Structure 1
Amino acid sequence: MGRSRLSLDGGANVTGTTTRGNRYAFRRLRAVSVARQFFLLQLGVLAVLVTAVLAAAYVEISHESESHAANVSLAVARTLAHSPDVRTALSRPEPPPGLQSLVETVRQANNVDFIVIARPDGTRCVHRDPTRLGTQINWDIAPVLNGHELTQFYQGRLGTSVRASAPVIGADSTAIGIVSVVMTQPKIGDQLHGRLPGLLIAAGLALLAAAFASFVISRRLRRQTLGLGPAEITRMYEHHDAVLHTVSQGLVVLGPDRQLVLANDEAQRLLSLGPDAEGRPSTGLTDSPSLRKLLTAGHDAEDEIHLAGERVLVVTQRTARRDGRLVGTVATLRDHTELLALTSELDSARSFAESLRAQAHEAANRLHTVVTLIAVGKPEEAMEFAAAELTATQQLVDRVVESIADPPVAALLLGKVAEAQRKGLHLVISDDTRVDTVPIDARDLISIVGNLVDNAIDAALTTPSPRRVDVTMRTESDTLTIRVRDTGTGLDPATVRTAFTAGWSTKTADRPHGRGLGLALVAQVVKRHHGTIDVISDGGAIFTVRIPLRQQPERNHRPETSS
């Protein structure tokens, strides 16, 4: 029993070792790169193909050797059957002594094994073995005696042999004997083996050439797959695919030829790309001129602002290199459209809060003045001063709130009035301002008015006093008209079109969302609502925006310059 347990334990150890060895071998196979596996597979397939071709060629050559042996034997038999010496010998009771030497000479010259001459009764009269002279042939010679040539393959003592027989025709046109020529398997094999070296050399050269071609292909495949194994490639693809579909930023990969290699789901949404966009040139990926220029140029960029359709995109682009060779560029896209809309609302609220704070400060000063007037015994002057200041402020607030139906827009204008006062200029809301209905979203209207007023304030601050900005908003028949005029230096008609593109500005950046976006955002919103923008210069710049109250079919509106 002890030996049995030992045997069982030993068997278990051997099985465990074998299993671990198989697992180790499998892991090593999985670790082999795709290129090497492809090379080994090709070598195996090539070896099988060359072996199959070699076997087929061997069979074909074997058949050719047997056919050649049969043709040679029949030719020798036919030649001797037509020989006058053979005919003369067979017409006599005893063949002449010189016939055997003649036949032997022919046999050696044609490298055959046996030549037998027999009479019609089957008696051998010529044979290389003298002991067999006068013996009977043990196969059927009747077809030959009937005048037919006969070729036969048979199994003899020396293996497969070929025998060719021809009749010897006498003067009376009857068979007076036969000539039979035999070539045995060793002779046929000698012919076959003589052709084998050339066949093997050709097969070896073909295998070497195919192996070299497979090696070159595998080297190229190794470079293209970076020497990774199939498990690594599968894992990398699964991880990358998961990341590309879940990342919140748009990802655009362009090749060195500036054609699209990859765009994830978010990039397709932001750029309005279809599923067939792969391979499209960079010039056809977006309608935004600035973004198209950046993608086509392929240089590095950091958090650049670009307008693409109705979206404001923050774009970062990096070039990708491997071993010093440019392999393409990678651009990330972040959608800041909602952020900028919220920023505009925040600016409006901040302006209104600053206006309230400024008014509170002024109210405190005025209250101090009133208290002082009362303290010095002048209550009438105190009442008159307080009533005048309160009336002016209340009249402005009442007029703006009554004229503009949308409270956020009214708050924005009141905030801009206070902001202008702090900066030392006068912002006037015209008496004919009247907006009873707002045909667009309040955020869009705030974006238009806020950016136009900010642009006008900045332009007016560049000129000496008096500085002034006039704002007019009216709904007339089927159009909302917004007009903003400043006392700045005006806008050159040649630069009007570029002024409405992202990045154009006359000042340095002082906002978190970059510089040169104000007028570009205005143009974007106006185009989305099928409106128009007119710009003229008359003692400053005058921007006039017209938005239809009833939506019209979309047209490609561009800012226009009027004189």
Structure 2
Amino acid sequence: MVTTIAIMVSAVVFSVLLVLYIIFINHILPQTRKALEGKALSIAHTVALTPLVSKGLEEGVSKDIQAYTGKIARRNDSLFVVVLDMKSIRYSHPDPALIGKPFVGGGQEFAMQGEDSISVGWGTMGKSLRAFVPVYNDKGHQVGVVVVGFSMKRVHDIIKKNEWTIILILLSGALLGTLGAIVLGKKIKKMMFGMEPSEISRLLEERSAMLQSAREGIIAIDAEARITLINVEAERLLTAAGITGKALESYIDDYWPALRLDKVLKSGDVKLDEEIDLNGISLLANSLPIRVGGEIVGAIVTFRDMTEITQLAAQLSGISVYADALRAGAHEYMNKLHVILGMTHMGMYDELQQYISGTVSNYQSEIGSITRAIKDPVMAGFLLGKLSRAREDGINLVLEEDSYLPESAQAEITHELITIAGNLLDNARDALSDMTSENKEIRLAFYYDEGRLICIVRDNGPGIPEPLQENIYTQGFSTKGENRGMGLHLVRRSVNKLNGHLQLLPGHDPGTVFVVNVPYLTKGDESR
């Protein structure tokens, strides 16, 4: 990047300097010659107006004229100052031997007719630039001509010197421009985190592709609360909620007032997992400020349809439950296999037969009691896992004999019920885990009646103190330590999603009783 910027800036500098050079060559340097021509004319006029010269020409005496013009020539560094009479006879010359002889080189014709003139010619002293000025006496009659000459070699030397001066100035400018371009390039590269323009372009394209392909809606605003970025998913969700129109460059308060993203911009506070209702669509949003160098320069919000998140959570919850059930069952039967292996090694075959028969009988009885009451296979498998886990913890989990749960018409309802029953059973198991009593019991019941399902979970644990009962559904609230307090919050959220009712029955001491009442559509009722 430094090289690119240096080349570009240097090219501009060189172009400007080239134009300046052309201007100097075509306009400035010719002025040098004109200046010498003007100087020659000035000297010639000065000599021509000197009385000593006009009087010497009238009297035909050249001695005083020679002495005077010699001084003038030396003081002005001219090649010669020659005075001619009207017959072009020299009255002065740097070479005294040529005084009295005719002027050679020509060019004096206009001056003999009373006009100033400039010309270049060859004479006894070589090629020279000459200025011719007529000389008049005090009566106004022309009596001669003054010729002042500068050597053309000197003229060329002065022009060449000025030309090199210009070239050196231009080269200095080019060098400074190049150094400035390099410094500028390094400064810009540092500002852009050391990336080249091609890298920045590629990064911008990748960023745009990532933002547009994200499953979350993304909206960013600048320091003035104007929308600077909105991706395809955000436009889709907002269009589904009835918010249309041009988003970019619009103020966020005008486009989506309920979001209140401008408050995040002003306060700098972060809002995580905020539930927003947008014209009937529930969104889960995360809003945070954008800081550059410690200063807030904008804000960004990411959001997603709560329905999608809930479905994903339900699937994950179901998978977790199934895995836990399999783990508990595997652990329990691994213990039984260890017993069988030990009895086999000891040759206790009669006792082994009785043990296996009892185990099979108990298992079939357990499965039979659950499958008779629980017609939903997913829920039945879930409860079998919970029974095994409870036995591991020394807890007696009992399904009430009069329980009945028909198969649901919707898999989503089953997932929500697993979340409800699973968290209530886990909370009951946690409550009993700290007890030293051997009589630890959890009783579970399902009752179905005309489209309503009642689920009751009862334990004989220490119960929930009355001062804490108002906070038990708050996310993160727990008496068990950090990173807890999610179970009852999830239970209440699932109950609310099913448009049901959750109640903690008072007056049960010791123990806790939760009652859940939700609408329940069975497969036989789904066509109604």
Could you tell me how far apart the structure 1 residues matched to 2:459 and 2:125 are? 121
AA partner of residue 37 (structure 2): A
Could you tell me how far apart the structure 1 residues matched to 2:431 and 2:123 are? 119
1:95-114 to structure 2, matched below 5 A, reads 95-114=61-80
- Identical-residue share of aligned pairs (%): 18
Equivalent residue pairs, number: 422
1:289-328 to structure 2, matched below 5 A, reads none
The residue aligned with 2:92 is: 126
Could you tell me how far apart the structure 1 residues matched to 2:424 and 2:380 are? 15
Q: Which of 40, 47, 51 is the equivalent residue of 1:73?
A: 40
Alignment check: 8 A CA contact 1:526 1:547 kept: no
Could you tell me how far apart the structure 1 residues matched to 2:318 and 2:518 are? 21
1:501-516 to structure 2, matched below 5 A, reads 506=480
RMSD of aligned Cα (Å): 6.3
Could you tell me how far apart the structure 2 residues matched to 1:151 and 1:266 are? 79
Could you tell me how far apart the structure 2 residues matched to 1:158 and 1:284 are? 94
> Does 2:498 correspond to 1:498?
no
Alignment check: 8 A CA contact 2:475 2:489 kept: no
AA partner of residue 454 (structure 1): D
The residue aligned with 1:31 is: none
Could you tell me how far apart the structure 2 residues matched to 1:151 and 1:481 are? 124
Q: CA deviation at 1:75?
A: 1.3
Unaligned stretches of 5+ in structure 1? Answer: 1-33, 246-261, 297-306, 313-334, 373-385, 510-514, 550-563
Bigger shift: residues 532-541 or 180-189 = 532-541
> Does 2:150 correspond to 1:164?
no
Cα gap change, 1:435 to 1:173, in 2 (>3 Å): farther
Q: CA deviation at 1:497?
A: 2.9
Q: CA deviation at 1:548?
A: 10
AA partner of residue 165 (structure 1): F
Q: CA deviation at 1:135?
A: 1.6
Could you tell me how far apart the structure 1 residues matched to 2:126 and 2:420 are? 107
Q: CA deviation at 1:487?
A: 5.0
Bigger shift: residues 42-51 or 138-147 = 42-51
AA partner of residue 151 (structure 1): I
Cα gap change, 1:267 to 1:427, in 2 (>3 Å): farther
Could you tell me how far apart the structure 2 residues matched to 1:337 and 1:470 are? 22
Q: Secondary structure at the residue paired with 2:134?
A: strand
> Does 2:381 correspond to 1:407?
no
Alignment check: 8 A CA contact 1:123 1:137 kept: no
Cα gap change, 1:283 to 1:175, in 2 (>3 Å): farther
The residue aligned with 1:461 is: 433
1:112-165 alpha-carbon deviations (Å, 9 max, x no partner): 112233344544443334426442555454544555433345688989743323
The residue aligned with 2:323 is: 346
Could you tell me how far apart the structure 1 residues matched to 2:330 and 2:131 are? 123
The residue aligned with 2:262 is: none
The residue aligned with 2:51 is: 84
Alignment check: 8 A CA contact 1:531 1:545 kept: no
Alignment check: 8 A CA contact 1:70 1:151 kept: yes
1:116-265 to structure 2, matched below 5 A, reads 116-129=82-95, 130-131=97-98, 133-136=100-103, 138-145=105-112, 147-152=114-119, 161-171=128-138, 173=140, 175-192=142-159, 265=210
AA partner of residue 377 (structure 2): P
Alignment check: 8 A CA contact 1:460 1:469 kept: no
The residue aligned with 1:424 is: 395
Cα gap change, 1:426 to 1:178, in 2 (>3 Å): same
Cα gap change, 1:54 to 1:266, in 2 (>3 Å): closer
Could you tell me how far apart the structure 2 residues matched to 1:107 and 1:533 are? 122
Could you tell me how far apart the structure 2 residues matched to 1:521 and 1:160 are? 110
Could you tell me how far apart the structure 1 residues matched to 2:270 and 2:119 are? 80
Q: Secondary structure at the residue paired with 1:127?
A: coil
Alignment check: 8 A CA contact 2:271 2:286 kept: no
Could you tell me how far apart the structure 2 residues matched to 1:157 and 1:100 are? 17
Q: CA deviation at 1:453?
A: 2.8
Alignment check: 8 A CA contact 2:84 2:145 kept: yes
Q: CA deviation at 1:101?
A: 1.2
1:439-486 alpha-carbon deviations (Å, 9 max, x no partner): 726445534443443333323434555543445576887x87766555
TM-score (norm 2): 0.55
Alignment check: 8 A CA contact 1:421 1:427 kept: no
Alignment check: 8 A CA contact 2:272 2:285 kept: no
TM-score (norm 1): 0.52
AA partner of residue 386 (structure 2): K
Alignment check: 8 A CA contact 2:211 2:218 kept: no
Alignment check: 8 A CA contact 2:29 2:162 kept: no
Bigger shift: residues 518-527 or 489-498 = 518-527
Q: CA deviation at 1:290?
A: 13
Could you tell me how far apart the structure 1 residues matched to 2:125 and 2:479 are? 106
Alignment check: 8 A CA contact 1:535 1:544 kept: yes
Q: Secondary structure at the residue paired with 1:166?
A: strand
Q: Which of 44, 56, 60 is the equivalent residue of 1:94?
A: 60
AA partner of residue 412 (structure 2): I
1:285-319 alpha-carbon deviations (Å, 9 max, x no partner): 974899999x99xxxxxxxxxx997669xxxxxxx
AA partner of residue 450 (structure 1): G
Q: CA deviation at 1:41?
A: 6.0
Could you tell me how far apart the structure 2 residues matched to 1:141 and 1:215 are? 60
AA partner of residue 108 (structure 1): R
Could you tell me how far apart the structure 2 residues matched to 1:124 and 1:339 are? 121
Q: CA deviation at 1:191?
A: 3.9
1:369-418 alpha-carbon deviations (Å, 9 max, x no partner): 9x99xxxxxxxxxxxxx9xx9999856542332xxxx4312432354356
AA partner of residue 411 (structure 1): G
Q: Secondary structure at the residue paired with 1:126?
A: coil
The residue aligned with 2:234 is: none
Q: Secondary structure at the residue paired with 2:56?
A: helix
Alignment check: 8 A CA contact 1:153 1:163 kept: yes
AA partner of residue 382 (structure 2): L
Q: Secondary structure at the residue paired with 2:422?
A: helix
Alignment check: 8 A CA contact 1:77 1:164 kept: yes
Could you tell me how far apart the structure 2 residues matched to 1:94 and 1:390 are? 158
AA partner of residue 400 (structure 1): I
Q: Secondary structure at the residue paired with 2:145?
A: strand
1:12-67 alpha-carbon deviations (Å, 9 max, x no partner): xxxxxxxxxxxxxxxxxxxxxx76x6699699969967995896697476434323
Alignment check: 8 A CA contact 2:498 2:518 kept: no
Alignment check: 8 A CA contact 1:125 1:133 kept: yes
Cα gap change, 1:418 to 1:183, in 2 (>3 Å): same
1:315-341 alpha-carbon deviations (Å, 9 max, x no partner): xxxxxxxxxxxxxxxxxxxx9996665
Q: CA deviation at 1:185?
A: 2.8
Cα gap change, 1:270 to 1:445, in 2 (>3 Å): farther
Q: Secondary structure at the residue paired with 1:440?
A: helix
1:63-94 alpha-carbon deviations (Å, 9 max, x no partner): 3432331221121122122222223233x151
AA partner of residue 180 (structure 1): V
Q: Secondary structure at the residue paired with 1:162?
A: strand
Cα gap change, 1:408 to 1:177, in 2 (>3 Å): same
